[in-house]
Structure 1
Amino acid sequence: MTLPSYYSVSNTCDKNFDIFSLIWLDGNTNAKEVRDTEQKLRSIINQVQKFADIEPCQKYIKERSTKERLIIIVSGRLGREIVPSIHNLRQVISIYVYCLDKEGNEKWSSQYKKVKAVVVKLDELLCRIKDDHKIEEIVEQPLSINIFTTSTGVGTSTTGFNGQFVFFQVLIDCLLRVKYTEADRKELIHRCKQQYEGNTVEINNIREFEMDYSPVKALWWYTRETFFYKMINAVLRNQDIHLMFLFRGCIYDILHQLEAKQANMPLKVYRSQTISNDELETLKQCCDQFISVNSFFSTSTNYQQAISFINFSYGVDNLQKVLFEIDADPRMSSTKPFADISSCSEYGDDSEVLFMLGSIFRLNDINRSRDDEYWIISMNFCSDEEHELKYVLVDIKEQFMSEETNLRTLGTVLWKMGKLDLAEKYFVRMLEEIPSDDPLVMDLYQDLGQLTSQMGCYDQSIQWHQKSLILKNQNKLTSITNPNEASISIGKFIEGNSIK
């Protein structure tokens, strides 16, 4: 497949952007059973690193960011040596001891809370990791939110709390209005295959998605344990705008399915989460303020299930267990629907209620639970219409999206957000997609001239302004009816605007 030239300039995807990785430490990692099992493990957690010796493994683990989440498989002998030194690291969330002596290894490992299991059979190891990882993806995902603080007044700075809040809402609205094209779909498939290269299970899932996806299956794909769910959540959490752009067709389909299944009565829903002390402190300071969630927000009407997820995670230094309790009234759902998606789900008994990307909540209060085991964060689902940002959002949307929303609109929004490189890429992308005689070409030349000047790329800026001037003069020439006047104008045009 030949890709358009903008594929190379808009590749913002970090190949290993998912926070979850699996590390397998065993002196015999090249054994056939290990190699065969690796593919099965990659169907659960895509990134798998194997080590035969403690020292490089330990170094690798300690060098990982605290934002990463590592699942460790270790042999009994090597586990005795390495577990004490890595157990309290934030990035290590689960440890599995795969060995021959179950009883002997249970004795030393019982003092380490993160050791989830000691197993002697590979099938048991795979099943346990798969079951545990379903919960890890809920409680261990970093909470990605924007905050609107009414105490500081209504602000539109792109760097402040309020500016981030406003422009994320505008960005999502803009993305969902931009027409989705076949080129976008092909690039999305291309990026997914890049991300899961060598993972035969997920490559097969991607091919199925490529052949069989349709708008009515969006929620079904979202609930499946495949690349789709993992990748779209990672993209939203990391605010990877270009991949959000490529996924926008699927996001649009999920929105419309949620609208069709919108809850018709008030619900109380719950979500377990592990957050840092700093994140908890930030939320405490924002009581009675508004937050927007930068991803789809999965909750459950089943209180006991939510509590069981909290019990799954272990409290360690600098981490807090929290339970979100949310009161959601469908009358507040003007643009961000929420719905029970059990009927669409591959797991129909999960009692899952999904909130649309960018949903807004009022943070009421934060208190300790009665047994003092976790924090309870009480929130109410809010409408876009009831908070102080209403008029700012309306003004900005009218400013940027009063006419047809296209790639130029998106570039302009990103420009306003201070994301100049991305703005340039979408202006160029649009130039490559529209005919050379489209009236928007001159506007895009002028936009690029001003933008690249602001970026400090003055030579490029001059080139874009020259292209705009040439096109402007060409348009003038076509409107001239006097032959003598045309002859003089052509001479001046050639003399003053020749570009090699």
Structure 2
Amino acid sequence: MSDNIDNQKSLLIWLDDSNSDSQENVIVRQELCLLNSNFKMFQTKNECEEYIKSQSADVHITLIVNGRLGHQLVPNIHDLTQIIAIYVYCMNQEEHKKWALNFAKVKGVLADFNELRRNLQPSHTDTCHYSIVSELPTTDTTKTVIIQIESTYELDASYFISDTCFDCFVRMKMDLTEKDDFVSLCQDALQRSENLLPILREFQEGYDPNQAIFWLYRHPFFHVFIDNMFKLAHIDSMLPCRFFIHDIHKQFEQHKCTSTIEVYKSEIISKEKFQKLNSFNGKIIAMKSFFLGSTDRNTALLYMPDISSSNEYQRILFIIEANPQIENVKLFAKISSLTKKEDPNDVLFMIGSLFKITEIQNEQDGVINIKMSLCGNDTENSMKALFDQVKLKYMNDNRELDAIDFGQILFEIGHSLRHENISDRGEKYIVSYAEKLPNDHPDRLRCYDALGNLNLQKGNLESRLNWLEKSFNIKKERLQPNDPNLIDSYQNLALGYLHKKDFTQALDYFTQLLGLLKQLYGDDHTCLTFCYNYMANIYENEQRFLEAISCYYQALAIMTKNNVDDIPSFAAIYNNLGKVYTCLEYHHLALGFYKTSLEMKLKYLQAVHPSIAITYQNIGLVYECMNDIQQARENLEKAVNIYRQSSNIEQSCITEIEEIIRNLPTSPT
């Protein structure tokens, strides 16, 4: 009787009779079941063969088998319709390639799990359920096995995204439901791996924040799960883990090393990956996961297996100088007392630790020593400045962060990187948080205001106004009509409708804002000039010129009365009055205001600034209307000469003025 295969009708089977509880097998088994929810493992050939033959013809089976058992099993099942691919996973490739060549469905004889995994993906792309963990894990402790994540080492966008999320998590308020969310996430990833469910239940029932690092290494699943999320910068998966990260960081703080130590970490990597690592000599590399080593060199070497029979791998010993006094360095701690393990030499480095490779020594006794020093920053990385700017905006003090802060951080990162998935995730995170809040919760206002600002950056005016209106309606219900907290809402709505070119709505909100400001600060306060100037611009656009002039004069009167020392603002108002009087054909008045504006601009701008050219152009056009051809020509030519010296002026603008000059009559008409 066959097991019930789900509607995807694909099956991944691993046959291996080695120790199923070994560190390597546990991790490989976990990765395979994460890769395909329909995963089965067998330790005997007969049981595996019987199971395969019991499956219906419409089930697609991919088989992974070690060399010895594969030699026995493959001839018996190769021609079955169900079998679509076979991979022989073993260390002795040359021996088993000899028989494997006789079977067309054997797609590879592989010793590197990374390579096996890459080969598995295309076969399952259309049929398999992929878990959130889509990268191979690194191994636990100093016990090294030949399973390594295909790490890029670069301080790339994924590193900075994960690092920023990590920094947020250790500052965020904790939610009591987060542990349940994490357990649910793990259950989804494990799918039918029933052998790991007891460990998960143990975690759910026995997790203690003061034993977070113990739980991180209680079973390989947990640290592999966490490591992969941060390596991949998988934000949706990282979020339910934030309570775990928060508690781990707290334990790091309590047990951090305070003096310089030397740490050793042994690894086995392919020759190809070593060449890549070798290219980073003298540079900074990023460890995108927790990094566990030992203060005892012999302990690190003890667990490095013999690979003398293989020419495809290289034994590496990292020798790390870790000084906790370096600025911005990530925390590291001795964790033997926290993990309840016998080895007192274990040292754990925080996710995102940076190391500079200082020396790669020649091979000696089959081992290459790579010396590294823990460092705090990569000052030469251009992407770092972008993320530092976001962190400075939201994390420049020790205050707690909340869901709104985190959503805004994600949005700004995505917006800066032009990565819509990340910016959309930040926006959706705030929306989701707002939907869970009671109607009278004060954070609703913050959510709506934040969402309004995010949509402003996106240029989505309709959505921005929608959120601002929601915020404003709540404020009107809760606040008195003259409450200062209404100022921002009136202002943002007025500007929003102005950008939308809905002048009627914009003018209405500016008028209400003006009335509120007068109630709060009187008729002559300088804050009123903001409203008067914008209202004048709207009146000007609607050709209500007399009302525009009235607003400009109101602004000038307030600025003069308060002795405002702001020449650029005065110059702008005089220039705008010149434009309005030109439209009314009051040319003498227009000329006077333009000339006053020019005199002011020459006090704070260079003579070749484009704004000076614009004023000369306006003056020239007024003289043309007044039939003063000589003055018109002189001022227009001054404008052209300045434009020609500017690198950011369109040639069409210059051509247009030159055309006007050519068309000027030779003498007044």
Give 1 or 2: higher helix fraction. 2
Matched residue, 1:378: 371
TM-score when normalising by structure 1:
0.64
Question: C-alpha separation between the residues in 1 aligned to 2:203 and 2:406?
Answer: 26
2:146 is equivalent to residue 142 of structure 1:
no
Matches of residues 277-288 of structure 1 in structure 2 within 5 Å? Answer: 277-288=271-282
Equivalent-residue separation in structure 2 for 1:48 and 1:281 (angstroms): 32
Q: CA RMSD in A?
A: 4.5
Instruction: Report matched runs for 1:194-205 at 5 Å.
Output: 194-205=188-199
Distance in 2 (alpha carbons) for counterparts of 1:82 and 1:134: 35
State whether residues 400 and 412 of structure 1, in contact with CA within 8 Å, keep that contact through their aligned partners in structure 2. Answer: no
Conserved? CA contact 1:272–1:324, under 8 Å: yes
**How much does 1:138 deviate?**
5.4
Tell me, in whole angstroms, the C-alpha distance in 1 between the residues paired with 2:160 and 2:324: 22
How far has the Cα of 1:79 moved from its partner?
Answer: 11
Structure 1 residue identity aligned to 2:408: T
CA contact (8 A) 1:431 1:441 kept: yes
User: Could you report, residue by residue, the CA deviation over 1:221-252 in whole angstroms, capped at 9, with x for unpaired residues?
Assistant: 12222532332233233332222222122122
Paired residue type of 1:432: S
Deviation (angstroms), 1:165: 5.1
Q: Which has the higher strand share?
A: 1
- The equivalent residue for 2:424 is 424
Task: Write out per-residue CA displacement over residues 250-309 of structure 1, whole angstroms, 9 at most, x where no aligned residue.
Answer: 122222212222234332221122334443333323222222211110111232232233
SS of the equivalent of 2:467 reads helix
Residue matched to 1:237:
231
Pick closer, same or farther for the CA change 1:468–1:23 going to 2, 3 Å.
Answer: same
- Separation of aligned partners in 2, 1:235 and 1:71: 28
For 1:446, the aligned partner's letter is: G
Partner SS state of residue 429, structure 1: helix
**Corresponding residue number in structure 1 for 2:447:** 441
Structure 1 pair 345/184, CA: closer, same or farther in 2 (3 Å)?
closer
Deviation at 1:381, TM superposition (A): 1.3
- String of CA shifts for 1:365-420, please: whole Å, max 9, x gaps: 2122223x232211011234x85569936544113435763332342244134443
Distance 1:309 1:187, change over 3 A: same
* Residue 301 to residue 250, structure 1, CA distance change in 2 (3 Å): same
C-alpha contact (below 8 Å) 1:175/1:248 kept by paired residues: yes
Q: Residue 336 of structure 1 is aligned with which of 330, 343, 347?
A: 330
Aligned to 2:163: 169
Kindly indicate whether residue 248 of structure 2 is the aligned counterpart of residue 254 of structure 1: yes
Q: CA deviation at 1:191?
A: 0.9
In the TM superposition, residue 204 of structure 1 has moved relative to its aligned partner by 1.6
Q: 1:15 to 1:413 in 2, by over 3 A?
A: farther
**1:409 is matched by which residue type in structure 2?**
Q
Unmatched segments (≥5 aa) in structure 1? 1-12, 36-46, 63-69, 73-77, 95-131, 149-160, 454-460, 483-491
CA–CA distance in structure 1, aligned partners of residues 340 and 447 of structure 2: 47
Instruction: Measure, in 2, the Cα distance between the counterparts of 1:419 and 1:314.
Output: 46
Aligned length, in residue pairs: 390
How far residue 170 of structure 1 moved from its aligned partner, in angstroms, is 2.8
Out of 178, 190, 201, which is 1:207 matched to? 201
Pick closer, same or farther for the CA change 1:137–1:48 going to 2, 3 Å.
farther
Match of 2:173 among 159, 179, 186: 179
User: Is the Cα–Cα contact under 8 Å of residues 144 and 267 in structure 2 kept in the other structure?
Assistant: no
> In the alignment, which residue of structure 2 is the partner of 1:218?
212
Shift of 1:192: 0.8
- Is it true that 1:327 corresponds to 2:321 in the alignment? yes
The aligned amino acid for 1:343 is S
Higher relative contact order (CA 8 A, sep 6+): 1
Following superposition of structure 1 onto structure 2, how do residues 329-478 of structure 1 map, counting pairs within 5 Å? Answer: 329-332=323-326, 334=328, 336-349=330-343, 351-371=345-365, 373-384=366-377, 387=379, 392=385, 394-402=388-396, 405=401, 406-415=405-414, 416-434=416-434, 435=437, 436=439, 438-446=444-452, 449=455, 464-465=463-464, 467-471=466-470, 474=473
- How far does residue 364 in structure 1 lie from its aligned partner after superposition? 0.4
Residue 85 (structure 2) pairs with residue 90 (structure 1)? no
Amino acid at match of 1:401: M
Greater Rg over alpha carbons, structure: 2
Question: In structure 2, do the counterparts of structure 1 residues 347 and 424 end up closer, same or farther at CA, with 3 Å as the change threshold?
Answer: same
Which runs of no fewer than 5 residues in structure 2 stay unpaired?
1-30, 53-61, 117-138, 483-503, 509-669
Show the counterpart of 2:186.
192
Partner of 1:29: 47
Q: TM-score, normalised by structure 2?
A: 0.49
Relative to structure 1, the CA distance from residue 350 to residue 60 in structure 2 (aligned partners, 3 Å threshold; closer, same or farther) is farther
**1:254 corresponds to which letter in structure 2?**
I
Identity rate, percent: 20
Using the TM superposition, name which of 196-205 and 244-253 deviates more.
196-205
Structure 1 279/241 Cα, relative in aligned 2: closer, same or farther at 3 Å?
farther
Change (3 A) 1:137 1:182: farther
> How far 1:433 sits from its partner (Å)?
2.4
Q: 1:337 to 1:145 in 2, by over 3 A?
A: farther
The alpha-carbon distance between structure 1 residues 355 and 135, as it changes in their structure 2 partners (threshold 3 A), is closer
State how far apart, in whole Å, the 1-side matches of 2:188 and 2:253 are.
33
**CA–CA separation in structure 1 for the residues paired with 2:172 and 2:200:** 24
Aligned ranges for residues 8-157 of structure 1 at < 5 Å? 16=34, 24=42, 27-29=45-47, 53=74, 55=78, 59-61=85-87, 81-82=99-100, 86-91=108-113, 139-142=146-149, 144=151, 146-147=153-154
The answer to whether the 8 A contact 1:146-1:164 is kept is: no
CA distance in structure 2 between the aligned counterparts of 1:181 and 1:410, rounded to whole angstroms: 19
**Alignment-mate amino acid for residue 46 of structure 2:** N
1:23 offset after TM fit, Å?
Answer: 5.7
The Cα of 1:315 is off from its aligned counterpart by: 7.0
Q: CA deviation at 1:29?
A: 2.0
Contact 2:144 2:268 in 1 (8 A): no
Q: In structure 1, how many angstroms separate the alpha carbons of the residues matched to 2:309 and 2:463?
A: 56
Q: Which residue of 2 aligns with 1:457?
A: none
For residues 419 and 198 of structure 2, the distance between their equivalents in structure 1, rounded to whole angstroms, comes to 35
User: Partners of 1:28 and 1:80 in 2: how far apart?
Assistant: 23
Aligned-residue offset at 1:57: 6.8
Q: Larger deviation: 273-282 or 243-252?
A: 273-282
What residue number does 1:227 align with? 221
